[in-house]
Amino acid sequence: MKYAQLYFDYNATTPCAKEVVDAMLPHFHEDFGNPSSSHHPYGWLAKRSVEDATASIAKSLEVAPSSLVYTSGATESINMVLKGVARKLQSKGKHIITTKAEHKAVLDTCIFLEEEGFEISYLDVESDGLISLEKLNKTLRPDTILVSILFANNETGVIQPLDDIAGKVHANGSLLFSDTTQALGKVAISEVLKKVDYACFSGHKVYGPKGIGLVYIKNNEDGDGLPSLIQGGGQQKRQRGGTINTPLIVGLAKAIALAFEQFDDEKNRIEKLRNKLEAGLLQIEMALSNSKSPKRLPNTVHISFPYVDGANLLIALSAQIAVSNGSACNSASVEPSHVLMAMGVERTLAYASLRLSIGRYTTDADIEKAIAIISEEVSKQRENNILWERRG
C-alpha cells in the first residue's frame, strides 16, 4: 500500500485483486486480438476468452449469458437502462418512479430525462432508509413505464425489499430496474436477478478493474429492443457499440468468480468485523447509527457524531484513515449526504457523519486501530466546540 493509512472506503472502490491482474495480463500483449476479427486466430482466441468470461459470470449470477451486456461501469449501465427504457416505451407512458436515496448516477440521469419531457416521481425513504410499499403503490400509475430502486445503498448499506417491490411494480405492468452495484459479492444476488427486469454491476467494486461494468437484461435472448447509448460497429447484439474490452472482461469474470468462491466465509468474517467496528464507534458518547434496517450490507457502517464538524473530522482523519462522508462520486459536494437527508436526518447531524466500509484486506487489528483513531479525533473536535461544553 502506497499510503501509511488504513483503508476503510471499500464502497468507493476496491483494490484490484492480484489474481485478477494476473488473469488480465496475457490479454494486453500476447492474446491481444479483437473479438470481432472473425478471419484469423487472434480474433477467434479473443472471442473465446470473452465467451468463457461471460459463461463464468453467468454461472455465478445464475443468469443466461445472453442477459449480460458489457459497459464501462455502473454509471454507463444506469444511463443505458434508464434512457433506453424511456426512449423505448415513451409511446406507452412518460412516468418513471425512483427514490430520493439513489446513487447520483440514477438521480442525475433522471434529471436529464426530466429535461427530455419525462415525469419522475422521487419517493421519500423512511427513517430506517427503506421505501414505503404503500407510498410506492400510491405513486404507480397506468403510464408508469419504469421503477428504479437501489438494492443496497452505497452510503448506509440498507437493503430494499425487492421481492415485494417487484410484485407491486409488475402488477402495475411497469418494468423494474435495480442498481445492484454494491450488493455483488457482499449479499446473495441471484434471487434478486430473477425478480427484476434490469440490474447493473461494476468491476471496481468487487476487486476487479475500473472501467468495466455490466447491464443485466432479463429477457435478452434475441435482444430486448433497448436502444443503444453508443452506436458503431454493431458489437454486443448492437446493444453497445465499440471494440469489446477483452482484458477487462476477463478481469471482471475472475473478480466475480473469486467473490463467489469466498462468499460465505468472507461474508461471515466481514460481518463480525463490521459489528465490532460499529459497536466500538457507538461507545463514543452520543454516537448514532444511520444503518438501522436489519437487512443491510455486511461491510458498511454509517455513524453520526453530534457536536462534531464533519468536514474538520474528515480532514483530521485523512492522515491516518481513509473514510468518507457519503458517496465518493459526490465527494466534491459541500452539501450533506442526500441519502441521510432523504431519511429525515437533521442537517447538522448529517454533516457530522462518517461512512466506513471494510473489505477483503481489512483485519481485526485495523478495526481496533480505526476505533481508537476515530474516538480520539471525535473527542479532540468536541474539545474545540463550545456547544459541546454547554450541551447540558
16 catalytic per annotation = no
Residue 202 interacts with ligand PLP (CB under 6 A)? yes
Q: Which stretch binds ligand PLP (CB under 6 A): 72-80, 164-172, 257-265, 340-348?
A: 72-80
Burial (0-12, 13-18, 19+ Cβ within 10 Å), 44: middle
Closer residue to ligand PLP, CB minimum distance, 35 or 213: 213
Query: For residues 166 and 170, what is the distance between their CA atoms, to the nearest angstrom?
Result: 6
User: What is residue 262's three-state secondary structure?
Assistant: coil
Residue 74 interacts with ligand PLP (CB under 6 A)? yes
Closer residue to ligand PLP, CB minimum distance, 106 or 371: 106
The answer for residues whose C-beta is within 8 angstroms of residue 201's C-beta and 6 or more apart is: 74, 77, 180, 181, 184, 213, 214, 216
Nearest distance from residue 152's CB to ligand PLP, in Å? 7
Residue 73 interacts with ligand PLP (CB under 6 A)? yes
Residue 84 interacts with ligand PLP (CB under 6 A)? no
Residue 109 interacts with ligand PLP (CB under 6 A)? no
Nearest distance from residue 328's CB to ligand PLP, in Å? 6
Strand partners, 147: 97, 176
Residue 208 interacts with ligand PLP (CB under 6 A)? no
Query: For residues 70 and 202, what is the distance between their CA atoms, to the nearest angstrom?
Result: 10
The site map against ligand PLP for 210-249 (x = CB under 6 A) is ---x------------------------------------
The site map against ligand PLP for 323-342 (x = CB under 6 A) is ----xxx-------------
Closer residue to ligand PLP, CB minimum distance, 74 or 358: 74
> What is residue 362's DSSP assignment?
-
Query: For residues 191 and 188, what is the distance between their CA atoms, to the nearest angstrom?
Result: 7
Closer residue to ligand PLP, CB minimum distance, 179 or 197: 179
Q: Answer for the pair 49, 252: CB distance below 8 angstroms, yes or no.
A: no
Residue 274 interacts with ligand PLP (CB under 6 A)? no
Nearest distance from residue 380's CB to ligand PLP, in Å? 30
Q: Answer for the pair 320, 373: CB distance below 8 angstroms, yes or no.
A: yes
Nearest distance from residue 39's CB to ligand PLP, in Å? 34
> What is residue 114's DSSP assignment?
H
Closer residue to ligand PLP, CB minimum distance, 205 or 274: 205
Residue 60 interacts with ligand PLP (CB under 6 A)? no
Residue 158 interacts with ligand PLP (CB under 6 A)? no
Query: From the list 45, 61, 179, 187, which residue makes contact with ligand PLP (rule: CB under 6 A)?
Result: 179
Closer residue to ligand PLP, CB minimum distance, 148 or 246: 148
Distances (CA, A) of 355 to 2, 12, 39: 22, 10, 51
**Exposure on the CB side of residue 304, measured as CA atoms within 13 A:** 20
The residue nearest ligand PLP at its CB is 73
User: What is residue 138's three-state secondary structure?
Assistant: helix
Burial (0-12, 13-18, 19+ Cβ within 10 Å), 194: exposed
Residue 105 interacts with ligand PLP (CB under 6 A)? yes
The closest of 85, 129, 67 to 292, measured between CA atoms, is: 129
Residue 75 interacts with ligand PLP (CB under 6 A)? yes
- 79: its cell numbers: 444511463
- 113: its cell numbers: 430525462
Closer residue to ligand PLP, CB minimum distance, 179 or 224: 179
**Catalytic residue (choose from 16, 110, 200, 329):** 329
307 phi-psi bin (left φ>0, alpha ψ -120 to 50, beta other): left
Annotated catalytic sites, by residue?
329
Residues at the site binding ligand PLP, with contacts judged by CB under 6 A: 73-75, 103, 105, 150, 154, 179, 181-182, 202, 213, 327-329
